[in-house]
Amino acid sequence: MLRILLYLVAIVAANVVTASFDPMEFGVFIVPMGTLLIGATFILRDLVQNKYGRTKTYLTIGAALILSALVSFLLDDTLLIVLASAISFAVSETTDTEIYSRLNLPMSWRVFYSGLVGGILDSAIFVIIGLSPLGAGFLPWEAVPAAILGQVIVKTVIQAIGAGILSGVSGNKQISA
């Protein structure tokens, strides 16, 4: 249960941190502060799946989706931001789960590859639906590619760190889900 609890806490913390702090800016890259935690949620979700299997993982993702939307709403995010968050979360977490399940690689590589794809989808969907002129209009179209790429870079770094740690812990053995 600890893995599930950590996953859910990380989801809530990502929402709170994103709402509470201005985004980081690295040159042209714009990265919401909660992105640091979102990279970790993919790793935590993989650990939930490793211990409990896909069915319980999907139930946990469903609970996290509802919790995330509720927290975003309570933090006064616009309905469009809540919707963008929910859609990007559902797509990225489902994709991460399915890729992780199907790769026949050591756990650390499954965590990295599934999280990489999940992170790309999460970033692109959220920025386009939630932040671009198509969504809430917080970013002009010119800033959208840098916002997506900035989030992808941060999430990828977090995934790489997590995969490296897991590689050292597991001895890079293949651990089945």
Q: Could you write out the DSSP letters of every residue in 31-65?
A: E-TTHHHHHHHHHHHHHHHHHHHHHHHHHHHHHHH
Residue 175 has pLDDT above 70, yes or no: no
Q: What is the pLDDT of residues 65-123, one digit of tens each?
A: 999 999 988 998 888 988 999 999 999 999 999 999 999 999 999 999 999 999 999 99
Residue 31 has pLDDT above 50, yes or no: yes
Name the pTM for this structure: 0.88
pLDDT recorded at residue 11:
93
pLDDT recorded at residue 172:
47
Residue 135 has pLDDT above 70, yes or no: yes
Residue 176 has pLDDT above 50, yes or no: no
pLDDT recorded at residue 174:
46
pLDDT recorded at residue 171:
57
Cβ partners under 8 Å of residue 88, min gap 6: 121, 122, 123, 125, 126, 129, 130
pLDDT recorded at residue 169:
74
pLDDT recorded at residue 177:
40
pLDDT recorded at residue 61:
96
Three-class DSSP category at 24: strand
